[in-house]
Structure 1
């Protein structure tokens, strides 16, 4: 399969003013899969790194000769804003939207931005992974603690949030300024994980206070955080996507991974077909592929269905009991996270923890 790739890298969140006076952030990267010239083009906008999801796209295209996929990689907040605007204005944009910002996707469905689809494969999904036949969870990825194996003593490796609190509690802790997590204003995924923590755990307030007191780092992007841990700029990272961490670990054994045994959040990236999609039939075919045995294998190979959650026989890993897994299900309850007052209150508290430079 001949593949033409071109990459458009944003050096910053550059905005471009359109004739309407509205500002739009450019996508981070673009890659074209399939034939260079064809009348059949499927536009996919996704928060998943091209390097990770690209092989999945290629597996799908082996079943669809003559189809081209234009894959656009976006940040979750920018993708949400663009998808809402396309929906509101009735503008054909993406044929498929895939995002880790699950709460944002539920909101898009609630705003009547999604096309409906039902098949034998979609009906086999658990109810928690499909909503109104308009949104589907396609991956299984734990939120993990990442640490530097060379710099963090074995006795300090945090197995729970309580352990992490104990590391940060002493006034002279060597972990001061060396613990990182997502900047939840920049990252829709980071916001979702933090909000889920606040709903799930009594430790959230104490952990947030410890982050502030120990000058923890709030920064962007899974790969950057994991790389920072590997290089020793950070010693520990909290609430990082396990799929990205494990992928990095395959090439760098300085990375250690812990699924917190008090509880581990499990994310399913969501798949939506916008109601104004030009190529709805191919979008439906891609969804069915991802839910098929072949597509599931491709997602497993990409670590997007995480082996960290399973033993060889497909059961939950021995280290983590099934009761400790906390899947983030698709439901209207997620929209609470986007309520304007709730969000601003939550972010105000976060800013007090990470006031910035």
Structure 2
């Protein structure tokens, strides 16, 4: 199995050599350290880590922020080498996490809190869904008239259809070859939506932009370089919209993908006890409150000060943590999907940042 994983990794774009950001939380003199690697922005997950440490003065958390593809590669290499690295991994690219568990790279853990998770958010007592975040559309409130705001994928198709559309070249989404999360959302769309083929064709014909990451996309919309962004992670979009009136956020009314970031304790973790404590904290009422404050738990049915545009009938489509996600990593299917994507975005691609 490990050999198959190494072969698969050879098909992926080269990874960045190091994490994007790092920070230590807790006292330097703490007798214990938990090494946490995550794709979640340090500024977003940091307050949750601090809440966890409030009652654990003897623990220090070394936080490393990674891009999803480099993190997947590193964890795979650690696993194949039997090398101790992270004590806990949390990633938004949950298909990659399912693959790591499938390859025997995770350590089992079970508690009352993990056992209470629904089947879609727990797999083999080795992978747990710890957040609840929608995939949304983001638009510039100053440059998109209310009547033009896309409320669904069908609306987005209508905006891109005219030859002289002002939205030509000004719609953005993740580059699936640089973002594991972007690939996951696009693949989930391809399995879910009758509109997917039409969107790919319209993106290609209208000169839509595929780029690397949430911050770049959201910045582009706020600055007016893009008018609309598609399939952006809602937690980041809503957090930014709370402090930037230029941004509007839409939960697509035809369906809204819902992501739960996946947590895993690596098989060779040096401090699995502290990792298990953090998992339990994230699933506890106190942890859920901290995650909700950080907008890592978003309730579409609740009123929210971040001005999430939605309808009461918006159907949710959760992405389950299950072996079904391994289809997204099948080398043949991935190659075909990538070729279809490059037809729509010929200028996209490159190594993960």
Q: TM-score, normalised by structure 1?
A: 0.91
Q: Structure 2: how far apart are the matches of 1:147 and 1:23?
A: 31
Tell me, yes or no, if the aligned pair for 1:137 and 1:270 is still in contact at 8 Å.
Answer: yes
Q: Structure 2: how far apart are the matches of 1:231 and 1:191?
A: 25
Return the match for 1:76 from 64, 68, 74: 68
Matched, 1:336 2:333: no
Return the match for 1:191 from 161, 168, 183: 183
Return the match for 1:226 from 218, 225, 242: 218
Q: Structure 2 vs 1, CA of residues 116 and 146 (structure 1 numbering), >3 Å: closer, same or farther?
A: same
Per-residue CA deviations over 1:141-161 (Å, capped at 9, x if unaligned) read 000000000000011001110
Which residue number in structure 1 is paired with residue 140 of structure 2? 148
- What displacement does 1:320 show? 3.7
Matches within 5 A, 1:42-191: 42-191=34-183
Q: Structure 2 vs 1, CA of residues 252 and 110 (structure 1 numbering), >3 Å: closer, same or farther?
A: same
What SS does the aligned partner of 2:108 have?
coil
- What displacement does 1:37 show? 2.9
The alignment yields a C-alpha RMSD, in angstroms, of 1.6
Tell me, yes or no, if the aligned pair for 1:141 and 1:304 is still in contact at 8 Å.
Answer: yes
- What displacement does 1:280 show? 0.5
What SS does the aligned partner of 1:180 have?
strand
Which residue number in structure 1 is paired with residue 10 of structure 2? none
- What displacement does 1:321 show? 2.5
Matched, 1:281 2:273: yes
Q: Structure 1: how far apart are the matches of 2:254 and 2:273?
A: 43
Q: TM-score, normalised by structure 2?
A: 0.92
Q: Structure 1: how far apart are the matches of 2:130 and 2:15?
A: 31
- In structure 1, stretches of 5+ residues that fail to align are 1-21
Tell me, yes or no, if the aligned pair for 1:142 and 1:309 is still in contact at 8 Å.
Answer: no
Which residue number in structure 1 is paired with residue 17 of structure 2? 25
Which residue number in structure 2 is paired with residue 9 of structure 1? none
Q: Structure 2: how far apart are the matches of 1:319 and 1:356?
A: 35
Tell me, yes or no, if the aligned pair for 2:250 and 2:310 is still in contact at 8 Å.
Answer: no
- What displacement does 1:310 show? 2.8
Which residue number in structure 2 is paired with residue 14 of structure 1? none
Per-residue CA deviations over 1:254-298 (Å, capped at 9, x if unaligned) read 100110010000000000000100000000000001100000000
- In structure 2, stretches of 5+ residues that fail to align are 1-13, 349-353
Q: Structure 1: how far apart are the matches of 2:112 and 2:166?
A: 54
Higher relative contact order (CA 8 A, sep 6+): 2
Runs of 4+ in 1 over 2 A off after TM superposition: 307-312
What SS does the aligned partner of 2:64 have?
strand
Q: Structure 2 vs 1, CA of residues 340 and 307 (structure 1 numbering), >3 Å: closer, same or farther?
A: same
- What displacement does 1:180 show? 0.2
Return the match for 1:351 from 330, 342, 352: 342
